Amino acid sequence: MEILAYPRDAFPDRKILVQRIADSLEPDNRPSHAFLDSKDYSQDSSVSENFHSYAFQWDRSRPKDRVPAHVLDLMNDDQCSQLVWVSRKMLEEEEILFVFMLAHEFRHVYQVRRNLTHDAVRRKSRALWREPEFHLKLSSLPLDPPELDADIFALRTTRSIFGPEPMTQLIGRRNFPRCPDKLYTPFLLRLEEIV
Ligand SMILES: [Zn+2]
């Protein structure tokens, strides 16, 4: 895995952290490239919505339209088969949440490589969502099985790196950026127990 930044010398400490996390995971979680981008696209409507998110995983089956030139150069590189793009707002996040979101994206790399179908997550998350505690209270939005699978992996990875207590504290004081609904955390923790 090659870790690149824009500009080239930006985020030296986060590059080391990205490498450390990648090294701690199975090789199929590692994209060919990780790209740490210092540009802020929040006001730029000319770029794809992916660039307004915290991070995303890209592979050759995905489109390359409305991609900033410096990222497009990398996507057009033959060596770049799978890319994890990381936003400036994620790079500026506290370390434990950064690791959580990075592990989430690395899991998407694994899902693509292994062609995961997420049947168990799909079935169990739907059943759980129908329970009175969550039904009609938690939006159906977080139920996309690949996203749930990636969050469960991120939860386990972050817990194994930082320990259970810092992870419990994090989810006690922060909502997950991907799904800020306060019921999402208890939902995810319940789902983690049964998949
Ligand atoms: Zn995701």
Domain ranges of the chain: 2-92, 116-194
pTM of the shown model: 0.96
Backbone φ, ψ for residue 81 (5° rounding): -95, -35
CA 108 – ligand 1 centroid, Å = 7
CA 146 – ligand 1 centroid, Å = 7
- The string of pLDDT tens digits covering residues 77-118 is 999 999 999 999 999 999 999 999 999 999 999 999 999 999
**Ramachandran category for residue 91: left, alpha or beta (phi over 0 → left; psi -120 to 50 → alpha):** alpha
- The string of pLDDT tens digits covering residues 140-171 is 777 899 999 999 999 999 999 999 999 999 99
CA 133 – ligand 1 centroid, Å = 25
CA 56 – ligand 1 centroid, Å = 7
CA 66 – ligand 1 centroid, Å = 20
CA 12 – ligand 1 centroid, Å = 25
Q: Taking Cα atoms as reference points, which of 80, 183, 77, 109 lies closest to residue 140?
A: 183
Residue 179 buriedness (CB in 10 A; 0-12 / 13-18 / 19+)? buried
CA 142 – ligand 1 centroid, Å = 10
